[in-house]
Amino acid sequence: MPKNIFTRGRSLPLNRKHKIAVAGVGTLGAAAVALTAVPASGQTTTSEAAPTAKVAYSTEQIQDVHAGVTGQLAGASQKVASIEAKQEAATTATSPKKAAAEKAAEKRTAKESTSRSAERAEAKQSPKKSYADNLDGWIREARDIMKKHDIPGTYEGIHRNIIRESSGNPKAINDWDINAINGIPSKGLLQVIPPTFEAYHVPGTSKNIYDPVANIAAACNYAADKYGTMDNVDSAY
In tens, the pLDDT along 39-74 reads 444 444 444 444 555 555 555 655 555 566 566 666
CB 212 within 8 A of CB 188: yes
Mean pLDDT over 162-190 rounds to 96
Say whether pTM exceeds 0.75. no
> How far apart (Å, rounded) are the C-alpha atoms in residues 134 and 14?
159
Question: What type of residue sits at position 234?
Answer: D
Angle among Cα 206, 212, 218 to the nearest 5 degrees reads 65
The amino acid that residue 207 corresponds to is K
The answer to whether residues 206 and 142 touch, using CB atoms and an 8 Å cutoff, is no
pLDDT above 70 as % of the chain = 58
Q: What is the CATH number of domain 135-232?
A: 1.10.530.10
Domain boundaries, the chain: 74-128, 135-232
> What is the distance between the alpha carbons of residues 130 and 234, in angstroms, rounded to a whole number?
30
The model's pLDDT over 100-109, given as tens digits with 9 standing for 90+, comes to 777 778 877 7
Secondary structure of the chain in HEC code, one letter for each residue: CCCCCEECCEECCCCHHHHHHHHHHHHHHHHHHHHHCCCCCCCCCCCCCCCCCCCCCCHHHHHHHHHHHHHHHHHHHHHHHHHHHHHHHHHHHHHHHHHHHHHHHHHHHHHHHHHHHHHHHHHHHCCCCCCCCCHHHHHHHHHHHHHHCCCCCCHHHHHHHHHHHHCCCCCCECCCCHHHHCCCCCECCCCECHHHHHHCCCCCCCCCCCCHHHHHHHHHHHHHHHHCCHHHCCCCC
Residue 206: exposure state from Cβ atoms within 10 A (0-12, 13-18, ≥19):
middle
Cβ within 8 Å of residue 187, ≥6 positions away? 172, 173, 174, 193, 194, 197, 209, 210, 215
Q: Across the chain, what does the average pLDDT equal? A: 76
Q: What is the pLDDT of residues 76-127, one digit of tens each?
A: 677 777 787 777 776 665 567 677 777 778 877 777 767 676 666 665 665 6
In angstroms, rounded to a whole number, what is the distance separating the alpha carbons of residues 158 and 142?
10
